[in-house]
Amino acid sequence: MKSSRISGFYKLSIEERLKIVKEFSELSDEEAEFLLKGHLDMDLADRMIENVVGMTELPIGIATNFKINGKDYLIPMAIEEPSVVAAASHAAKLAREGGGFFTSSTEPIMISQIQVVGLRNPHFAKMQVLEHKEELMRIANEQDPVLIKVGGGCRDIKARVIDSNMGPMLVIHLHVDVRDAMGANAVNSMAEALAPYIEDITGGKVYLRILSNLAIYRLARARAVWKKDVIGEDTVKGILYAYEFARVDPFRAATHNKGIMNGIDAVLIATSNDWRAVEAGAHAFAAMDGWYTSLTHYEEDEEGNLVGSIELPMAVGIIGGATSTHPKAKIARKILGIKTAKEFGEILAAVGLAQNFAALRALATEGIQRGHMSLHARNIAVMAGAKGEEIDRVAELLVKEKKVRVDRAKEILEELRERK
């Protein structure tokens, strides 16, 4: 079996790393070459969004060491922030001693909302809608024969009456199994198609017909054990304090959850998924109990090991949107070796948990600056004007002096150049 536990991956050259990834994920010569040197075709880009005038770039790094449900994964991450890829790899390495990550998820059910207003008797109208449930589901399913063919479709219809400053509203929820798509287009089409029928049934006026990003029926979960003997008793205690801080204080929870999304977003961007949709779902879910709190949980088991878990909405696709059009997204998916959106969502949950663990470990022990700033030092060196080999040399000296600042980087650069 292939192992993603690759010690010192970061010390290799780009070409050496790519060779390992190519072999691990069975990329073709063309795919490997495209990953290294290719870019999105301008004509394709011009059709992806509007008013295109150019392209932006992000580096794609590979997080190593991930074992999820007994299988090894290499994780492609596209991100501008240093230390995220290193941190994920670090957490995954430490989790392997506890067996790696174990995951599960719900079926891929998305919610689409239909807002009905102008109802004199909204509760009565709700009953009328629910009486027509079978017929409405049939009409919804007629909108997307392909989705039905692959096993998806509208599974249920619910209705709620909510009060508002504009009067009571009847809000109808379509629960749609979107299989391997993120599902926005499918569920929005269904909601739009049902709107006139709902107006007929209720006598009300439909305004919005759109999915909810609070995808509470499409959850991904992950758990892992970090052994006390591997991370140390003090670290276990420190992380428990860090977790409790995030659990009870929204100011801390926002940063804690940002750390989780560092990892999840990076994988979403590498695979051209809608990261705003997942972000919105994650943060809304974090506030589901009436206050904003941590998306992860940490506890201590009977042996004193740290056990961590995460559960969050995961509206992601391996088909549809830009996931199927962006050539690098396709390669990123091949690197992951995923076959379903469900498996993909579970990997994302594991990455989120790993990312959070890594940050908490650093925060609760040595502080974030050593690991993060030592990697960020390379950016500071570039900001100071360093080029080529100068970048690593300047960064190394900044870290050694513990002065990761642009002014000092400029001085060091001048000294180095004078010495030449």
Ligand X SMILES: NC(=O)C1=CN([C@@H]2O[C@H](COP(=O)(O)OP(=O)(O)OC[C@H]3O[C@@H](n4cnc5c(N)ncnc54)[C@H](OP(=O)(O)O)[C@@H]3O)[C@@H](O)[C@H]2O)C=CC1
Ligand Y SMILES: CC(C)(COP(=O)([O-])OP(=O)([O-])OC[C@H]1O[C@@H](n2cnc3c(N)ncnc32)[C@H](O)[C@@H]1OP(=O)([O-])[O-])[C@@H](O)C(=O)NCCC(=O)NCCSC(=O)C[C@@](C)(O)CC(=O)[O-]
Interacting residues toward ligand Y by CB under 6 A: 7-10, 64-65, 81, 83-87, 89-90, 93, 255-256, 258-259, 262, 358-360, 362-363, 368, 371-372, 375
Give the total of residues touching ligand X (CB under 6 A): 24
Q: What is the rounded end-to-end Cα distance, in angstroms, of the chain?
A: 50
- How is the beta sheet containing 109-117 ordered, strand by strand? 153-162, 169-177, 109-117, 205-212
| Least CB distance to ligand X at residue 409 (A) | 39
Long-range contacts of 244-251 (CB under 8 A, 24+ apart): 246/293, 246/294, 246/296, 247/293, 247/294, 247/297, 248/293, 250/291, 250/292, 250/293
The reply on whether position 191 binds ligand X by CB under 6 A is no
Measured from the CB of residue 320, what is the shortest distance to ligand Y in angstroms? 30
Residue 366: both structure tokens together: 């040595």
Q: Is 90 a catalytic residue?
A: no
Q: Which residue spans within 10-107 are E strands per DSSP?
A: 60-68, 71-78, 101-105
What's the rounded Cα separation, in Å, for the pair 77 and 350?
A: 14
User: Which residue, judged by CB position, is nearest to ligand Y in the bound state?
Assistant: 371
Residue 313, binding choice from ligand X, ligand Y, none, Cβ under 5 to 8 Å by partner class: none
Residue 389 tokens, joined? 């080999």
Q: Which is nearer to ligand Y, 153 or 238 (CB)?
A: 238
Q: Are strands 219-226 and 169-177 parallel, antiparallel or unpaired?
A: unpaired
Considering the complex, what minimum distance in angstroms separates the CB of residue 316 from ligand X?
Answer: 9
C-beta of 185: minimal distance to ligand X in Å?
3
Residue 292: CB minimum distance to ligand X, A = 21
**Is the distance from CB of 273 to CB of 266 less than 8 angstroms?**
no
Per the annotation, the verdict on 410 as an active-site residue is: no
Among the listed residues 71, 81, 192, 403, the single catalytic one is: 81
Could you tell me the smallest distance in angstroms from the CB atom of residue 6 to ligand Y? 7
Buried b or exposed e, range 289-313, using 16+ CB within 10 angstroms: eeebbbbbbbeeeeeebbbbbbbbb
What phi, psi does 271 have (nearest 5°)? Answer: -100, 10
Contact of residue 213 among ligand X, ligand Y, none (CB under 5-8 Å per partner type): ligand X
Q: Which is the catalytic residue, given 177, 274, 343, 390?
A: 274
Taking CB under 6 A as the rule, does residue 213 contact ligand X?
yes
Give the H or E element holding residue 311.
strand 306-313
Least separation in angstroms between residue 41's CB and ligand X is: 18
Q: Which of 100, 321, 352, 371 binds ligand X (CB under 6 A)?
A: 321
Window 57 to 96, contacts with ligand X (CB under 6 A): none
Q: How far is CA 6 from CA 96, 336, 381, in A?
A: 12, 16, 28
How far apart are the C-alpha atoms of 285 and 312, rounded to whole Å? 7
CB of 409 to ligand Y, least distance (A): 18
Tell me whether residue 267 or residue 391 sits nearer to ligand X (CB atom). Answer: 267
Near ligand X in 356-375, by CB under 6 A: none
Nearer to ligand X, 230 or 284 (CB): 284
Q: For ligand X, which residue of 27, 129, 182, 359 counts as binding (CB under 6 A)?
A: 182
- Whether 403 sits among the annotated catalytic residues: the reply is no
* 138 touches 155 (CB < 8 A): no
User: What binding mask, one character per residue, do residues 131-170 give for ligand X by CB under 6 A, x or -?
Assistant: -------------x-xx--x-x------------------
Does 345 bind ligand X (CB under 6 A)? Our answer is: no
Pick 191 or 399: Cβ nearer ligand Y: 399
Q: Which is nearer to ligand X, 309 or 324 (CB)?
A: 324
Is 132 designated active site?
A: no
Cα dihedral angle (351, 355, 357, 358), rounded to 10 degrees? 130
Q: What is the DSSP string of 90-123?
A: HHHHHHHTTT-EEEEE---EEEEEEEEE--SSHH
* 204 sits near ligand X (criterion: CB under 6 A): no
Which of 78/358 has CB closer to ligand X? 78
Return the number of other C-beta atoms located less than 10 Å from residue 175's C-beta. 18
Of 68, 184, 267, 353, the one binding ligand X (CB under 6 A) is: 184
Instruction: Name the active-site residue from 93, 328, 372, 376.
Output: 372
Residue 307 corresponds to which amino acid? V
What residues line the site for ligand X (CB under 6 A)?
144, 146-147, 150, 152, 178-186, 188, 211, 213, 274, 277, 317, 319-322
Catalytic residues, by residue number, are: 81, 258, 274, 372
